[in-house]
Chains A and B, each alone.
Chain A
Amino acid sequence: MKWRRFFSINWLLVYAVAYMIFLYAPVILLPLFAFNDGTIIAFPLSGYTTKWFVSLWETEALHGAVSNSLLVAVTTALISTSLGACAARAAARYRFPGKQAIVGFIMLPLVLPEIIVAVALLIMLVQLGLPLSLWTVVAGHVLICTPFSIAILSSAFAGLDQSLEEASFDLGETRWGTFSRVTLPLVLPGVISSLLICFTISLDEFIIAFFLTGTDVTLPVYIWSQLRFPTKLPSVMALGTILLALSVLLLVAAEWFRRRAAARQGQEISTPGGLV
């Protein structure tokens, strides 16, 4: 008994900690080099500076990329979440022929390599003679974000007690009234969580943006172009640090809203996230 406890508990914890170090190794380096007063990305560190952050402020091309990315990410989040809400509601509430096949097909981009999605969309756009722009990037991003949105919102809609809606109908509310006063408030935290996740995915997505972007580049495409110039690397690290902080903030917010959704519907809070 003693031997077994020694084997299973301690070593698994040691392994888990080692694994977390492996997971966080590259992430920890990011702020380290961002505040490092040296032009080479290598140890030893040579002192504290914030000049790389200041240089970001002065780079015009970056500002363009940031506003492009924000536009793409916000639009993608709104469209994907609207589409995701329809699909999640349909999947959770109704039975219809071909349901499994339809949902499976919509979720396909989750397992399809992004390069395949990107290349396929590129071929179609070129064949149709449509110019590449930020909107073509949005079209691609909506395709890959919608499955995530459906996954998050499915749990929100599945936990929805149908009798509440029925009660609302019985008390004389219209369809729209029931939706806006009963259904929406109950799933709203899930909706916000989905918006934030889609926003984060789109903001970081590179492959589809790389193929489908026109002359206006998004942030990851801009970063890709900067990685070739060794002198630009420290400011890229600074940019990465800001993005990291932003992502963590958004994720904490998304998680908070998801838990609130679960709590409102009286589910157990510790159940794993909607992404699973």
Chain B
Amino acid sequence: MARRLDKDAKQGLVLISPVLVYALILLAAPLLLVLTFSFWTQNYLDIDRTLTLANYREALGTPIYQTLMLRSITISLVVTVVTVVLAFPIAYFLSFHVKKRKALWLFLITVPFWTSYLLRVFLWKVILGYNGVLNTALMELGIIDEPLTFILYNANAVVLTLAHAWAPFAILPIFVALEKIDRSLLEAAEDLGDGPFRRFWRVTLPLAMPGVVAATLIVLIPTVGDFITPKLVGGTEGLMIANMIQVQFGKANNAPLGAALAVSSMVIVATISVMIYVAGRYFGGRVKR
């Protein structure tokens, strides 16, 4: 039996090794290089390879980077909360109320997500603009007299556009978690006298927590790294840290500073993610399975 397992292990490792090698060369090595780079400095074209914390002092100490970092984290957290809160009822609806055609609903939810990301963001600009679709419609209906200006070129527009872009990523994990809930537990709660709200709060939500946490992390982490949405709809008020990282690797030509900004933002996001994960486990863990 032991030999059989060894053979199995060997075959498994052989099969997975091409992917592993690929990921080690093109993911692990570059990420380590970014980390190394963040401790180097750049003088115009030359890279100075003496290890220094100068980039981190600049990345974490300069007011503009501090502002951008704080704003990025804030926007991403707001986007995450908005996306997950908007997504939860849809996932709940799909799991508990749609009896037939679940697959069709899921398909319809994912279709907009497969259209060009750039164009989707751009079209939000068309919707939210001064002469945009929303303003025109609201003025035609006589609800407003003057175009609304607070909806484009600021953080609101970034939040709305990102909440739209990441919707399926929030709905699907929550849906899967809800599908896994044993329906007899809900009946039991009802039989024991729980009303719909108590039942939801004490049984459904804690059991759906793994999905909610997954959705939160799946939305939170990548949104911090988005620079298209802030650039197209964010104006100067809505620029985020990823825009600065892009500038450092492009026009400003200061890759080490860009690397330090990237590493700092990832460390901050990772810390927040771990906290959310732990909090989710605590909240979800109160119901014994």
Contacts and interface: CB of A to CB of B under 8 A. Distances in A.
Interface of A: 4, 7-9, 12-13, 15-16, 19-20, 22-27, 29-30, 33, 41-44, 83-84, 86-87, 89-91, 93-97, 99, 102-103, 105-106, 108-109, 111-117, 119-124, 126-127, 139-140, 142-143, 146, 150, 200, 204, 206-207, 211, 220, 223-224, 227, 236-237, 240, 243-244, 247-248, 251, 255, 259, 269-270, 272-273, 275-276
A247 B259 contact: no
A220 B107 CA distance: 24
A7 B195 CA distance: 13
A9 B112 CA distance: 25
Give the 7 A-B CB pairs with smallest separation, nearest first. A113-B225, A94-B12, A120-B30, A26-B123, A90-B15, A96-B12, A90-B16
Contacts of A29: 123, 126-127, 133
B122 A227 contact: yes
Given A8-B196, A15-B90, A30-B119, A23 B26 contact: no
A113 B226 contact: yes
Given A29-B123, A30-B123, A123-B255, A43 B136 contact: yes
Contact of B225 (A19, A102, A115): A115
Given A26-B164, A96-B13, A41 B126 contact: yes
A83 B116 contact: no
Interface stretch (B50-58, B241-249, B279-287): B241-249
Contacts of B173: 276
Given A8-B196, A23-B112, A42-B132, 20 more contacts: A15-B93, A87-B19, A95-B5, A96-B8, A97-B9, A108-B27, A109-B27, A113-B222, A119-B34, A121-B26, A123-B30, A143-B23, A206-B117, A207-B228, A240-B115, A244-B115, A247-B115, A248-B111, A251-B110, A272-B172
B262 interface: yes
A113 B242 contact: yes
Interface string B86-100: 100110110001000
Contact of B259 (A25, A119, A211, A223): A119
Interface string B49-91: 0000000000000000000000000000000000000100110
Q: Is chain A's interface secondary structure helix, strand, loop, or mixed overall?
A: helix
Interface in B171-193: 172-173, 175-176, 179
B124 interface: yes
Contact of B89 (A15, A113, A273): A15
A77 to B, nearest CB: 15
Given A23-B167, A116-B262, A86 B19 contact: yes
B276 interface: no
A101 to B, nearest CB: 10
Contacts of B5: 95
Q: Is chain B's interface secondary structure helix, strand, loop, or mixed overall?
A: helix
A123 to B, nearest CB: 5
B222 A114 contact: yes
Contacts of B218: 111
B198 interface: no
Interface in B104-163: 106-112, 114-120, 122-124, 126-127, 129, 131-133, 136-137
Residue from B13, B111, B118 with most neighbouring chain A CB atoms (10 Å): B118
B272 interface: no
A8 B200 CA distance: 12
Given A27-B112, A108-B27, A272-B106, A19 B86 contact: yes
A123 B13 CA distance: 30
23 contacts: A16-B89, A26-B126, A27-B111, A29-B133, A33-B126, A43-B136, A44-B136, A83-B18, A86-B16, A113-B225, A113-B266, A115-B245, A116-B225, A120-B27, A143-B22, A143-B26, A204-B114, A204-B115, A211-B249, A227-B232, A243-B116, A251-B107, A276-B175
Given A41-B126, A121-B30, A206 B118 contact: yes
